[in-house]
Amino acid sequence: MTGIKYDNSDIEGGGGGKEPDPGLYPGKIVAVTHRTKKSDGSKVNDLEVTVDIGEEYVRLWSYIKLPGDPAYDQSRWKLRELTDAIGLPPKGTLDPKKIEGKPVMVKTKMRRDDPDRAEIKNLFKPGEESLKDGEDPTDEATDDYTEWSVEDLEAEIQERGLDMPSGRKTVAKLAAVLEEADGEGGDDSEAEGDEPEGEGFDITQHEGFEDWDDWSNDDLKEFLSENDIQISGRFSEAKARDAIIEHVQGSGEPAAGDGDAAPDDDYDEWSDDELKDEIKDRVEQGAEIDIKGRWTRDKAIAALRADNEAEPF
């Protein structure tokens, strides 16, 4: 068999190594693709950003929503993070090809749905973030409580079930309580044997939460933001999940399978695009349909049925 000639000398190598441990790495954006649809054909408007952190490691990807994508409003921070990382102003025009080759600092974490694989947690401008001497790169960065407000410190202490210091509350006194707790193993509210909030409530039975156990911190933050759910003190996964469970419990939204008589329509058999097109057509005809927060099939179907009752088609 005749050998096949090739010349890849003009193509940059890298990306064939191991998964990086959680930590901070110098990297470079090596490819940026503007996507209008995913591999499964579903519509999307985002940037697929490929980052190389060295030949020793696999390449990593970040998907950043763009204006016009249904999920853009809930994840605008990711686009701002990217523009900050590559030195662009908060407002302007983005040319994907001019992003390629830009140096960045990459903070990585392990994927929740696959703990053996890494993913991008944050992108930073080179020089903005650096590991301290002797810091373990597998640890999450420790908060500097002395930079918190008194209100945030008090809220954090209350959230973690710690003893509030007596007398006048100062940053130094409150920070000392949290630093001592961190040194003894951290958050008392998550200690072994404590009953987690929402015990006995199965959130996975609700529409849109079937993959609840696989949600990343970014997913949790997006849901908190789009539903205007506030958590006090610093962000933690446990706090976010408790707050979301409490929100869903108190929302009155029925779990999957709940309900009374079967509806006299076939919306359950419609595709997502058909539901969206129907809502769009009705709004253009003057219907007042407004879906709050994250779009879900259940919300869309409920909105159409409510509109049917108000103005039967």
Can you give the C-alpha Rg of the chain in angstroms? 24
Contact status, residue 18 vs residue 57, Cβ threshold 8 Å: yes
Residues 60 and 96 in one domain: yes
In a domain, 188, yes or no: yes
pLDDT in the model for residue 19: 92
Residues 32 and 119 in one domain: yes
In a domain, 216, yes or no: no
Phi-psi region of 137 (alpha: psi -120 to 50; beta: other; left: phi over 0): alpha
In a domain, 1, yes or no: no
In a domain, 262, yes or no: no
Q: Which residue, chain included where needed, has tokens 């193993």?
A: 185
Q: Indicate the number of domains in the chain.
A: 3
In a domain, 136, yes or no: no
Higher pLDDT, 210 or 43: 43
Q: How do the residues of the chain divide into helix, strand and coil, expressed in percent and rounded to 5?
A: 35, 15, 50
186: pLDDT strictly greater than 50: no
pLDDT in the model for residue 28: 95
In angstroms, rounded to a whole number, what is the distance separating the alpha carbons of residues 25 and 94? 25
Give the mean model confidence (pLDDT) for residues 65-69: 89
Which spans in the chain are helix H?
76-85, 96-99, 150-159, 171-183, 217-226, 237-251, 272-284, 297-310
Range of the domain at 101: 23-124
144: pLDDT strictly greater than 80: no
- Asked which of 124, 156, 185 is the last residue of a domain, the reply is 124
Token pair of 217 as six digits: 């911190």
In angstroms, rounded to a whole number, what is the distance separating the alpha carbons of residues 269 and 266? 6
Backbone angles phi, psi at 43, to 5 degrees: -75, 145
Q: Annotate 213-250 with DSSP letters as a single string.
A: GG--HHHHHHHHHHTT----SS--HHHHHHHHHHHHHH
Contact status, residue 295 vs residue 70, Cβ threshold 8 Å: yes
Residues 148 and 112 in one domain: no
In a domain, 290, yes or no: yes
Q: What is the overall mean pLDDT for the chain?
A: 76
- For 251-261, the pLDDT digits (tens) are 655 444 444 55
Higher pLDDT, 143 or 128: 128
Residues 36 and 104 in one domain: yes
Residues 28 and 110 in one domain: yes
133: pLDDT strictly greater than 50: no
Highest mean pLDDT among 8-22, 67-81, 145-159, 298-312: 67-81
- Asked which of 194, 219, 254 is the last residue of a domain, the reply is 194
Residues 118 and 147 in one domain: no
Give the strand pairing for 60-65 and 43-52: antiparallel
Evaluated on CA atoms 267, 271, 277, 283, the torsion sign reads positive
pLDDT in the model for residue 261: 55
Residues 107 and 184 in one domain: no
In a domain, 207, yes or no: no
In angstroms, rounded to a whole number, what is the distance separating the alpha carbons of residues 293 and 76? 15
130: pLDDT strictly greater than 70: no
Percentage of residues in the chain having pLDDT higher than 90:
14
Residues 33 and 120 in one domain: yes
Higher pLDDT, 170 or 24: 24
In a domain, 132, yes or no: no
Residues 117 and 150 in one domain: no
Q: Which of 16-25, 83-92, 191-200, 228-237 has the lowest mean pLDDT?
A: 191-200
Residues 111 and 146 in one domain: no
Contact status, residue 72 vs residue 66, Cβ threshold 8 Å: yes
